[in-house]
Structure formats: C-alpha cells, structure tokens
Structure 1
Amino acid sequence: MNAHLPAALLAAPFLAAPVVGAVPPGATDAPTAPAPAPAPASASAFATALRLTVSGPAPATTAPSPDATVPSAPAARSVTLRCDPAGGDHPRVEAACADLDASQGRVERASDTACVLLYDPVEVHAEGVWRGRPVSFTRQYGNTCELNARTGAVFAF
C-alpha cells in the first residue's frame, strides 16, 4: 500500500468539507425534502417471460375417425409463460416454471421414457428470456409423447 495514501485520506476531509448544519448566506433554513432513495434493482431484470408455440397434432389425438379420415392438424397454438412471479396464460405455469428451474433454463432435457414409434410430428418454439438470459428454441419431435418426455410441462398446453 502507498505510504502517502493514509495521510492524504486523513487530510482530505479537512480540505473541502462543508460545516454540517451551516446555512449559506442568503439561504433560508427551511427544511428541504430529502433526495429520493435510489431505486432498487428491478426484479424483472431476472424474470422469465417466454412465448411458447406448438404446431402439430392436438393434445388429445390425431387418430383416424370412424369414417377412416384423419383430422387435419390444428393451427399453431401459443401461450405466454412468466415466472418470478408466475403468470401468463400457460395452463400449468407452476409446473412449467419448476421444470425450467430444474434444468437451469434449458427447454429440452434428457429422458429415458419409451414412446410409441408413431410418426405424428409436432414442432415447438420458445422465444424470450429465462432469468435474464435470452432463449430461442425450435425443435420438431416425432409425436406428442416424445415432446412431453423431452420438455415436461413447458409445452403441455
């Protein structure tokens, strides 16, 4: 440490320190409002907000109907998922947020679930932020079983 630093620090308050309670000439001694406290760091800076989209078969089934026709896949459906605090229009918001927290924000995870080898493709997309980190995820799965096994509650809507 510099030997001259402590002496400079001790002398500094005496060089330009104002006298506490002194009123400059011409000023009134009326009380003034205290300066506003600095705003706390925004909690939303580390929040989660994702737009989730699923395109493909309906959650129930796309099995052939009794007249042997296969219903067409519905249009894409989307929801908003917010965590910290939980919100949005995702039907299983608490479970989806818990799945993202458990995987450190990764949408997809490893799974040893065995699914039927039925090709009924479903495509998913997630865009937004997880705890302040950008998220952009797009993947196609062979069927909804594979989707649910690999993404948990995140795309369960």
Structure 2
Amino acid sequence: MLKDELLDVHHTAVCVTDFERARDFYVDFLGFELEGEADNRSESALGDVVGLKGATIRWAMLRRGSHCVELFKYYQPEGNRTPREQCDLGYTHMAMRVRDVDAVFEQAVAAGYEPVSTPRVLRGGKTKVFYLREPEGAITEFIQFNELG
C-alpha cells in the first residue's frame, strides 16, 4: 500500500510571474532559506514530468523546517495569470502555524502585504486565523492553535 511507502510531505509548488518578489516574500518575510535556484531550465525530462513539452522555467527550492516551497516562473508556455479563488477546484492555499497570529498580522500589514481579513477566531475558539494575499494573489493562511482546557 502507498501508506507504507509515503515518508512525509516534502514541498508545495507555487507558480509566479515576478520571481524576485515571490522569492523575497518567502525568504525575507516568512524566513525560508534558499536551497537552490536555476534560471532557464529546459531539460526535456522537465517538460515530460510537468506535462508541458518545451517547458522553460526559472526555479528555486526554499526550505523552512521540514517543508519546502518550490517556486516556478514559466517562460514557456505561458499559463493563466488569474489568481485562484478559495472556492476554485484544487489546491487553494498553504497554511503556516504561528505562535501569535495577531503579531503576524501586524507585521504583514506593516510590510505592505494584503490580508483578506483581520484575525478571526474559528472552531469554537480552538484556532485564530487570517488569510494573506501573497504578492501575486495566492493565499497563505496563518493559524494559531489555542489551548482549551
């Protein structure tokens, strides 16, 4: 069974148009470390793996703890540039567990990032969360888990 082969979750991939701005968001604001970066990657196996023959990309792997974010900027082919809504089919956001969601919210606003709302208490007080629009419209959730006695 697959569950016997699955070790852990390695990375989440994010496709962007402004590579430097996206990389800076993850590295400078979220504290990810740059593990590797390459420009104009176009090996034929890449196109085979992603199902896009002739794909040419700029790429980076960023790590924070045990999780990585893989950044892609496609030079070829050009994709849909409309950010997804949370109700759209497929993956919609990445969540970061934080100690103090209000402090993160204040830092995000001070840094010029666009929150979807202020932090809100959910799940009967078990969590406090807010969503933040990344520089190109993708969503990152910041979630604080509250200890309830």
**TM-score, normalization by structure 2:** 0.23
Which structure would you say has the larger Rg? 1
**TM-score, normalization by structure 1:** 0.23
Going by fraction, where is strand more abundant, 1 or 2?
Answer: 2
